[in-house]
Structure 1
Amino acid sequence: MRGEFQEESFDETLLSNLETKLAHHLSASAVSARNLQGERDKIKTLIADISHQTKTPIANVLLYAQLLVEQCPENCRPYTAALAGQARKLQSLIDALVKTSRLEAGVLVLRPRPGPLGPMLEEAAAQFAPRAAEKGLELVLEPTEADAVFDPKWTGEAVCNLIDNAVKYTPSGRVAVSARAYELFARVDVEDTGPGVPEEELEKLFQRFYRGGAADQAEGVGVGLYLVRQIAQGQGGYVKAFSRPGRGARFSLFLPRN
């Protein structure tokens, strides 16, 4: 069970044969584990390099694009605004890819612990209240006493992605955030009154880089929901989507309570 074994019988019996095979198997497993750890270390270094090397250039592009927007003639502003938008999109893409790559490579480890969901949901909703107000949306956080076993930081990241999508794709109406505890799981719901998602697209939403037909005109890179699924699965939970076209959508994040 510890992965350690030493042969004791050296003869032609079945026991000796079994011991030899077991020793060879464990030796090969140990080599594979060392190789895997080496590959993870390489990936960790590569991700750190990408994150570090791209941070400053993208920040500079965003800075100069903003300066162009403020100082260029009126007829040039649509082009400079487009430049700034694409730079922000690139920044979001790199940030999302770095996060998902770290999770997949085991570089970042989720540390679930028992706790109430309310404070984490309040913090996530507060981040998007100004954006919702700008669009004239009602962002509602329903009071809850639900608890679960979860990593507050990464679960908050997942909930923020769900609220971000709801605010982004809802032209009018409301976005509601709620949580309810069941016997084995707690369920966090983010529900909107947007255009909804066609049934044939529901199963594809959590794939990396997938964007539905309604997302073509909105900013995004198609990584947010994939990251939500990775975070949920990393804590023993899961995520589901429910929708009817024209009647909004509900995304439910299920977190274990034990």
Structure 2
Amino acid sequence: MTAVPIPQKPGARLRAALVELLYRQSRAVLFANLVIPWPVAYVLREAVPGRQLLIWIGAVYALTGARLLLSYRYFRRGDQAPGPEVWARRFTVLSVLSSLLWGGVGWIGFVPSEPHLIAFVCIVLTGMSGGAVPALSAYPPAYAGLLIAMQLPFALRCLSQEGSIYSVYLAFLLCLVCVYLYYSLITYRSLKETVSLRFENLALVEGLERERDRATAADRAKTRFLAAASHDLRQPIHAAALFTASLAALARRGDIKGADAKGIADRLEAVIGSLGGLLHGLIDVSRLDAGLVPVQRRPISLARMLGDLREEFAPQALQRGVALRAVPLDVWADSDPVLLKRILDNFLSNALRHAPDGRVLIGCRRRGGAVEIQVVDTGPGIPSGQHQAVFEEFVQLDDLQLDNPQRDREQGLGLGLAIVRRLADLLGHPIGLRSTPGKGSAFSVQLPLTAPPALARVSPRRSEPSGRLGIMVVDDDVQVLAGLATLLAAWGHDPVCGADVEELCRRHEAAGADSVHLIIADYRLKRGLTGSEAIARLERYLGYRVPALIVTGDTSPERLRDLTATGRLVLHKPVAPERLQAAIREAVAGEAPAGSA
């Protein structure tokens, strides 16, 4: 039997299931049509001519054969077969024709001079009608047609005769018709509820299976994260501790040289930058999952973008001995340039990393009304069974290509392609991967083509403010507070710091500080106070609105949504010094968009 997909809409699924029940449960009726005609003919043989009986039996068998053929075709139907309503109507037509033949028994077997034959015919018709209730009630029109066609000839003969006995037969017949119709309706409702309940149970089971799979995937992701984080995050922290201990040892000796201190500081800054990169990858995933990444679409010149990418990655390609080539098309695509560049940056970084002394090509191909950007490398390739896995969290390409359990710390936590997948879903750009082990890989992203933009005048950019700023800092971590105060003072600003709002206000009054140009607040403060609430209290204290930055270490999607709703610029720990400087300039200049940075 050929399986046919069940329609997706609940109502259509229910109708299709009921029609299938109609065909399955009619087998008993078809069997009765093959067997019962012979006993009926035997009883009527003396009152009805044998020729008529044989013609009647032949007609019943012919229609039964047609119904069997219809049933066979229904169960062997293909994908292009008509819908369930068509099959139900076909069944009803043949069922009514067959019932008319049985109704003919009520006509030819109605012999007034033979009362026992009338009783026999009445019993046969009521029995056939009653037996069809469970078989045909899945489609009420089919049963109603059968009942009327089967009982109408007998009722007409009763009406044509005089005598109280025929009125009794007629009344008896009408009562049975009403009772059968009632039970047919009850059976239909019962079947409908049963089938509906079965679909609800199936949906519940499918939902539970999806939840189970989701929970299993989340558990696997958590396990991968803990395994990756326990190793990859420990390494930079361990290195930072070693550099800090080295700096402290030189300081205790008292003969630390400026060049040595700078060298250690540079290495320490690189280690902290590496740690920040790992943590920012987690933040990016959370922001994408929370739907907090805005999309700003505009026409993009792919020729210019691919040329810029080649220039940007040329030094890295030269360092790795990779021949990098760009083959652009002079077309324009509709996308977000920042998010698209991030996707292509990841493709190119992976290609250069995994094809040392090889070749990497970035190019475009038209695909109807779209254009496909491809990044092709001559690296080791990825097994076909792992093409989906590379886009999961905490998976590194080396693990799949080389079956190597050792993680490369320079690749981070293995979030790059997971972020690419989320960005592509956000933009609505299909991504693809074709790879052959030993020959290389080709990652691609497809974009819709668009017309070039109209020329527009470029407005002059506002000059950024400069000079000494009065900055309020509230953070309940003493070490962070001291570090921020030292850094801001080193940049030439006037910081006033406090562990809570009350302490900060007291210090501001005691210092007799001038106007406050900026507030920097940690998001989670003492006694359940949030950074946005602290900023509001400080503004009430000052009596005017002040630009503000919120610094947080939270990565949960819910928390990120709350932070975005504040309308303040949000910085995620650890914050690189240059990013903090840029955020201060943007906030004070009034150019900072609400959201994360």
TM-score by length of structure 2 reads 0.29
Cα distance in 1 for residues equivalent to 2:240 and 2:446: 39
1:244 paired residue among 430, 436, 445:
436
**Structure-to-structure mapping, 1:1-258, within 5 angstroms:** 61=240, 87-212=272-397, 213=399, 214=401, 216=406, 218=408, 219-220=410-411, 221-257=413-449
Question: 1:93-146: per-residue Cα shift (whole Å, max 9, x none)?
Answer: 222222232222122211222232122222223222111101111111113213
Task: Check 1:119–1:100 CA distance in 2 against 1; reply closer, same or farther (3 A cut).
Answer: farther
Aligned partners of 2:306 and 2:328 also within 8 Å: no
Q: CA RMSD in A?
A: 3.1
Measure the CA separation in 2 of the matches of 1:154 and 1:244: 28
What is the Cα deviation at residue 71 of structure 1? 5.0
The amino acid that maps onto 2:288 is L
Q: Tell me how far apart the structure 1 counterparts of residues 341 and 272 of structure 2 sit (CA, whole Å).
A: 25
Q: Which structure is larger by alpha-carbon Rg, 1 or 2? A: 2
Distance, in Å, in 1 between the alignment partners of 2:383 and 2:301 is 34
Q: 1: distance between equivalents of 2:419 and 2:370?
A: 20
Q: Which has the higher contact order (CA 8 A, sep 6+)?
A: 1
Matched to 1:244, the amino acid is T
Summarize deviations over 1:37-87 as a string: whole Å, max 9, x none.
xxxxxxxxxxxxxxxxxxxx99x949x58x98x959xxxx9xxx8x88865
| 8 A Cα contact 2:396 2:407, kept in partner | no
User: CA 1:102/1:203 → structure 2, altered by over 3 Å: closer, same or farther?
Assistant: same
Deviations 1:165-185 (A, max 9, x none): 001111221111001222232
Contact 2:370 2:447 in 1 (8 A): yes
Q: Distance in 1 between matches of 2:340 and 2:442?
A: 17
Query: Quick check: 226-235 or 87-96, which moved more?
Result: 87-96
Query: Which has the larger share of helix?
Result: 2
Residue 240 of structure 1: how far off its partner (Å): 1.0
Range with greater deviation from structure 2 (168-177 or 158-167): 168-177
SS in 2 for 1:91: helix
Corresponding residue of 2:551? none
SS of match in other structure, 1:154: helix
Cα distance in 2 for residues equivalent to 1:124 and 1:156: 8
In the alignment, the residues of structure 2 paired with residue 250 and residue 84 of structure 1 have an alpha-carbon distance, to the nearest angstrom, of: 35
Q: Secondary structure at the match of 1:195?
A: coil
1:245–1:86: structure 2 CA closer, same or farther, 3 Å change rule?
farther
How far has the Cα of 1:160 moved from its partner? 0.4
Q: What is the CA distance between 1:257 and its match in structure 2?
A: 2.8
Alignment: residue pair count = 190
Aligned identity (percent) is: 32
Could you tell me whether the CA contact under 8 Å between 2:299 and 2:334 is conserved in 1? yes
The one-letter code of the counterpart of 2:309 is A
TM-superposed deviation, 1:230? 1.3
Partners of 1:159 and 1:237 lie apart in 2 by 12
Letter in 1 for 2:388: E
Which range moves more in the overlay, 215-224 or 151-160?
215-224
Q: Is the 8 A contact 1:121 1:156 kept in 2?
A: no
In the alignment, the residues of structure 2 paired with residue 199 and residue 244 of structure 1 have an alpha-carbon distance, to the nearest angstrom, of 7
Give the whole-Å Cα distance in 2 for the aligned partners of 1:234 and 1:179: 21
Distance 1:141 1:89 in 2: 29
The SS at the match of 1:257 is strand
Q: Distance in 2 between matches of 1:139 and 1:88?
A: 27
Large movers: runs of 4+ above 6 Å? 83-86
| Change in CA separation of 1:238 and 1:86 when aligned onto 2, cut-off 3 Å | farther
The 8 Å contact of residues 207 and 226 in structure 1, kept in 2 or not, is answered as yes
Per-residue CA deviations over 1:142-173 (Å, capped at 9, x if unaligned) read: 13213211000110011001100001111221
Structure 2: runs of 5+ lacking an equivalent = 1-235, 248-258, 451-597
Residue type at the aligned position of 1:232: A
The amino acid across from 1:105 in the alignment is A
Indicate how the Cα distance of structure 1 residues 113 and 204 shifts in structure 2: closer, same or farther if over 3 A, else same.
same
- Which structure dedicates a bigger proportion of its chain to strand? 1
Give the structure-1-normalised TM-score: 0.64
